[in-house]
């Protein structure tokens, strides 16, 4: 009997979360709910998650326990990336183009090692350059003096700087949207924080002399569209004001090593705090424009969020979209890993994580072990430099053995806090930044 109940509620959560919720919480209709676990529901839920739930009374109706929540992308369980130089625990999200994310617990280093850094391609992966220093790039358009230079010349003409900065895919968090939004189903792992060495993009723009007519940039790389190899895989840009921000780099080294081909080597852009898609890999051209850029990946609903909130799942209305600019505030738990099992009698759990907030900094991080009933402030480090992520630590004190969820939420320097659920649904699922939660079993 018990075995049957256990299987059925897990299956129900996978296949029909609403029905599972009704079974667990004894809810008969959408409005008639007890809102807490008791009796048979509590027993079934406890059996399904593998232990007693000390804070069951706080568990909100409708919550799919973290132990059972499955990313929409992986009905058959996660597939892993196999790629030279990459950790074999990166989760493969797509093969053509090649896309892989870093599970949160692999982001436990202060600086993300290159082998753990996520990979996002939109088109082909060009062949590795045989003579990196001979790589050519141009700056043209609304400038007084167009520039054409090799990577070797770039390195000698401009002063190199090294900064630790987050690079994050615009779609990071997409899998948390309901209904499912179109695109790679990232959890929180479309992000990493590396030491980037390069020259300031603003130094190059100043050397070229930006004309008053300049309003926007267009960034180009050498990769090709998978559907048509005469076309660019992607070409996005930013307003000229953002382009002139001295934090943006033209990068040729990552974590102290020459930039690898898979990350856009020998040279790429890193545009600080904005969707990764503006940070062109295999960088060939910076086009200064007198109007909004119109390359592939601009306009319509690409990298764009709704201006007026839209009904989730609705057809996009013309004119209701703006470019996603600064990435939203996000925190992750990097230790322990989701699903961690700890010996019976464990009373204290050391928690570690990271938080970042696009153009902003993180003001505070809070953690909860009781389904959000109470929150504890984490110790938060300062960024090494602007656009670095901030590492945090906390200690969870457990009252008894059993099943716990650890939740984390960050608040940015402007007061924006991560929501419980991904909000502001949009067709391609940008800006999904709900609180991160993991399951921990002490038994």
Ligand X SMILES: Nc1nc2c(c(=O)[nH]1)N[C@H]1C(S)=C(S)[C@@H](COP(=O)(O)O)O[C@H]1N2
CA distance 195 to 319: 38
CB 215 within 8 A of CB 239: yes
Nearer to Mo ion, 336 or 429 (CB): 429
Only one of the segments 4-12, 73-81, 276-284, 401-409 lies at the binding site for ligand X (rule: CB under 6 A); that segment is 276-284
> CB of residue 106 vs ligand X: minimum separation in angstroms?
14
**Of Mo ion, ligand X, none, which one sits near residue 214, judging by CB under 5 to 8 A according to partner kind?**
none
> CB of residue 170 vs Mo ion: minimum separation in angstroms?
5
Only one of the segments 83-91, 120-128, 361-369, 374-382 lies at the binding site for ligand X (rule: CB under 6 A); that segment is 120-128
- CA distance readout (Å), 406 to 50, 211, 289, 394, 438: 16, 52, 47, 11, 5
Q: Which of 221, 237, 353, 431 binds ligand X (CB under 6 A)?
A: 221
| Site membership for ligand X, residue 263 (CB under 6 A) | yes
- Chain residues 260-279 in contact with Mo ion, contact rule CB under 5 A: 276-277
Q: Which of 44, 73, 81, 169 binds Mo ion (CB under 5 A)?
A: 169
Only one of the segments 50-58, 73-81, 104-112, 115-123 lies at the binding site for ligand X (rule: CB under 6 A); that segment is 115-123
| Site membership for ligand X, residue 122 (CB under 6 A) | yes
Which tokens sit at 17?
Answer: 């979360």
- Chain residues 153-172 in contact with ligand X, contact rule CB under 6 A: 167, 169
Count of all residues that appear for the chain in the document: 443
| Site membership for ligand X, residue 114 (CB under 6 A) | no
Question: Residue 220 class from Cβ within 10 Å (0-12 exposed, 13-18 middle, 19+ buried)?
Answer: buried
CA distance 370 to 437: 11
Q: Which of 183, 276, 336, 429 binds ligand X (CB under 6 A)?
A: 276
Nearer to ligand X, 285 or 363 (CB): 285
Only one of the segments 39-47, 121-129, 135-143, 364-372 lies at the binding site for ligand X (rule: CB under 6 A); that segment is 121-129
Block residue for tokens 């939740």: 407
Residue 201: which of 119, 133, 137, 263 has the closest Cα?
137
CA distance 215 to 213: 6
In DSSP notation, 301-357 reads: TTTEEESS---TTPPPPTT-EEE--SPPPEEEEEES-TTEEE-TT--EEEEEEEEEB
Strand order in the sheet with 147-150: 147-150, 136-141, 283-289, 216-221
| Site membership for Mo ion, residue 97 (CB under 5 A) | no
**Of Mo ion, ligand X, none, which one sits near residue 411, judging by CB under 5 to 8 A according to partner kind?**
none
Q: Which of 102, 187, 217, 280 binds ligand X (CB under 6 A)?
A: 280
CA distance 407 to 375: 9
Positions touching Mo ion (CB under 5 A) are: 120, 169, 276-277
Positions touching ligand X (CB under 6 A) are: 117-123, 167, 169, 221, 223, 233-234, 263-264, 276-277, 279-282
């Amino acid at each position: 009997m018990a075995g049957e109940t256990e299987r059925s509620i897990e299956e129900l959560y996978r296949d029909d979360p609403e029905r599972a919720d009704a079974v667990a919480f004894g809810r008969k209709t959408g409005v008639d709910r007890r809102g807490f676990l008791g009796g048979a529901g509590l027993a079934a839920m406890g059996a399904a998650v593998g232990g007693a739930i000390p804070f069951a009374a706080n568990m909100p109706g409708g919550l799919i326990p973290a132990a059972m929540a499955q990313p929409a992308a992986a009905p058959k369980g996660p597939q892993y990336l196999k790629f030279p130089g990459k950790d074999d625990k990166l989760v493969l999200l797509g093969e053509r183009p090649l896309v892989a994310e870093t599970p949160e617990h692999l982001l436990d280093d202060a600086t993300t090692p290159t082998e753990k850094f996520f990979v996002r391609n939109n088109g082909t992966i060009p062949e590795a350059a045989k003579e990196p220093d001979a790589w050519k790039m141009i700056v043209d358009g609304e400038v007084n003096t167009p520039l054409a230079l090799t990577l070797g010349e770039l390195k000698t003409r401009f002063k190199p700087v090294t900064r630790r900065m987050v690079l994050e895919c615009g779609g990071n968090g997409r899998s948390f949207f309901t209904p499912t939004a179109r695109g790679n189903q990232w959890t929180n792992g479309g992000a990493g924080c590396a030491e980037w060495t390069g020259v300031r993009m603003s130094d190059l723009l100043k050397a070229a002399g930006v004309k008053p007519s300049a309003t926007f940039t267009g960034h180009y790389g050498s990769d090709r569209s998978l559907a048509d190899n005469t076309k660019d895989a992607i070409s996005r840009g930013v307003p000229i004001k953002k382009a002139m921000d001295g934090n943006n780099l033209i990068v040729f080294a990552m974590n102290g090593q020459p930039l690898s081909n898979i990350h856009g080597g020998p040279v790429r852009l890193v545009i600080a705090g904005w969707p990764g898609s503006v940070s062109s890999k295999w960088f060939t051209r910076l086009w200064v424009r007198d109007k909004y850029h119109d390359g592939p990946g601009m306009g319509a609903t690409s990298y764009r969020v709704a201006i007026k909130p839209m009904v989730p799942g609705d057809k996009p209305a013309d004119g209701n979209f703006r470019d996603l600019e600064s990435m939203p505030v996000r925190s992750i738990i990097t230790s322990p890993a989701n699903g961690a099992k700890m010996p019976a009698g464990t009373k204290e759990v050391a928690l570690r994580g990271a938080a970042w907030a696009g153009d902003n900094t993180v003001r505070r991080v809070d953690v909860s072990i009781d389904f959000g009933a109470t929150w504890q402030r984490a110790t938060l480090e300062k960024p090494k430099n602007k656009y670095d992520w901030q590492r945090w630590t906390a200690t969870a004190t457990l009252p008894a053995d059993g099943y716990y969820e650890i939740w984390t939420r960050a608040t940015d320097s402007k007061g924006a806090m991560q929501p419980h659920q991904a909000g502001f649904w949009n067709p391609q699922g940008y800006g999904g930044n709900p609180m991160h939660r993991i399951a921990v079993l002490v038994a």
